[in-house]
Amino acid sequence: MNKLFAAFILLVSVCAHAQHPTIGYIERLHPSLDKVLNPAGAIEILDSGYTWVEGPLWLPSQRALLFSDIPSNRVLQWTEAGGSKTYVQPSGYTGSVPRSGEVGSNGLLLLANGQLLLCQHGDRRLAVMDAPLSAPTARFHTLAAAYQGKRFNSPNDAVQTRSGIILFTDPPYGLEGNDKDTAKELPFQGVYQLEQNGKVRLLTDTISRPNGIGLSPDGKTLVVANSDAGKAGWYGYQYDEKNGLQKGRMLLDVTPEVRAMGGGLPDGLKFNRLGYLFATGPGGVWVFDPKLQLVGRIRLPVLAANLALDETEKTLYITATQYVLRLVLR
């Protein structure tokens, strides 16, 4: 039996045992991918029928996955037993004047104190839900909404350091007119640090479309996705809480791939505890080893937006255009 046929039989066997319909495949570029992914793993479709879903977050206490349905301005909750249902609505825009654009929440983050943080596009702020996770309500408390007296564009994604500092990105995607919106107050798109005393510190304003953000397990490397079709890729920085960002560089420029595929910009990303980085981009999810070298891809026929790991890091959840997906890891 040749190797190609054997791999095909294994893939069929794995997919046959999947609990849900499957989509896509895994592309192995280096043997080290095997430490985190089974090359014949099944990418399961847990839910579908949306326009653009984002910001998946696993809640261990609820055994549930949350995700943002941006166009409908709500967060949904998915469980194995109950499927998907509305968790909280509105989620990103709480105003009374109707408006268009990406109004809902985007990135979701479970803070160390157990609160749910939402990157609220429509309200242009970082906010926490004023309710326990088990009894959600659409009441929110603002953590940060401005830098030097000027409103944010539309906070997009966030990560928390071990000491409690929140790092977040602020592209213009939640503004009705995007970068040309007359309501835009800041002349740049920033990456920020929200300190425990409530002070907002600008880390960099040099990334044209900062989007997904992730911090390495040791807290010393910050990676930011740039979702600019003209300069698409991932930037890496040395990071510490006192000195901010140092020695920034483009880790991988995927502008040619974006152009060739007609889309699929770098978006959400997550590190696991081993230091592997999962990053959405053209063609699906790009997987990097702890040295930030590309070792494989999770190939998808739709645009991947963001991803989340469960508390065991044995399950990867992916939001991809209309789908919510799941992949069991090693």
Q: Residue 226, Cα to own-chain centre: how many angstroms?
A: 12
Nearest in space to 92 (alpha carbons), one of 111, 70, 77, 114:
70
- Answer yes or no: is pLDDT of 3 > 60: no
Best CATH choice for the domain 48-328 from the list 3.60.90.10, 2.120.10.30, 2.40.50.140, 2.40.37.20 = 2.120.10.30
Query: What's the average model confidence in pLDDT over 110-118?
Result: 97
Per-residue pLDDT tens for 228-277?
999 999 999 999 999 999 999 999 999 999 999 988 999 999 999 999 99
Per-residue pLDDT tens for 307-317?
999 999 999 99
Q: How far is Cα 288 from Cα 30, in angstroms, rounded to an integer?
A: 10
pLDDT at position 15 is 46
Helix (H, G, I), strand (E, B) or coil at 207: coil
Nearest in space to 328 (alpha carbons), one of 41, 23, 26:
41
Q: Residue 243, Cα to own-chain centre: how many angstroms?
A: 25
pLDDT at position 17 is 54
Per-residue pLDDT tens for 24-64?
999 999 999 999 999 889 999 999 999 999 999 999 999 99
Query: What's the average model confidence in pLDDT over 149-171?
Result: 98
pLDDT at position 12 is 39
- Answer yes or no: is pLDDT of 162 > 50: yes
pLDDT at position 2 is 43
- Answer yes or no: is pLDDT of 16 > 60: no
- Answer yes or no: is pLDDT of 190 > 60: yes
Residue positions counted in the chain: 330
pTM above 0.85, yes or no: yes
Query: What's the average model confidence in pLDDT over 208-236?
Result: 98
Residue 151, Cβ density class (10 Å: 0-12 exposed, 13-18 middle, ≥19 buried): middle
For tokens 């029928």, the residue is 49
CB-based contact 117:59 (threshold 8 Å)? no
Strands (E), 1-79: 25-28, 43-47, 53-59, 64-69, 74-79
| 4: confidence class by pLDDT, cuts 50, 70, 90 | very low
pLDDT at position 255 is 98
Say which residue, 19 or 244, is predicted with more confidence: 244
Per-residue pLDDT tens for 296-307?
999 999 999 999
Asked if residue 132 has a cis previous peptide bond (ω within 30° of 0), the answer is no
pLDDT at position 39 is 87
- Answer yes or no: is pLDDT of 6 > 50: no
Q: How far is Cα 208 from Cα 228, in angstroms, rounded to an integer?
A: 7
Q: How far is Cα 88 from Cα 133, in angstroms, rounded to an integer?
A: 10
Nearest in space to 268 (alpha carbons), one of 227, 239, 216:
227
CB-based contact 204:229 (threshold 8 Å)? no
Domains of the chain, by residue range, sit at: 48-328
Helix (H, G, I), strand (E, B) or coil at 236: strand
pLDDT at position 140 is 98
| 19: confidence class by pLDDT, cuts 50, 70, 90 | confident
For tokens 């659409």, the residue is 138
Strands (E), 18-112: 25-28, 43-47, 53-59, 64-69, 74-79, 83-88, 105-110
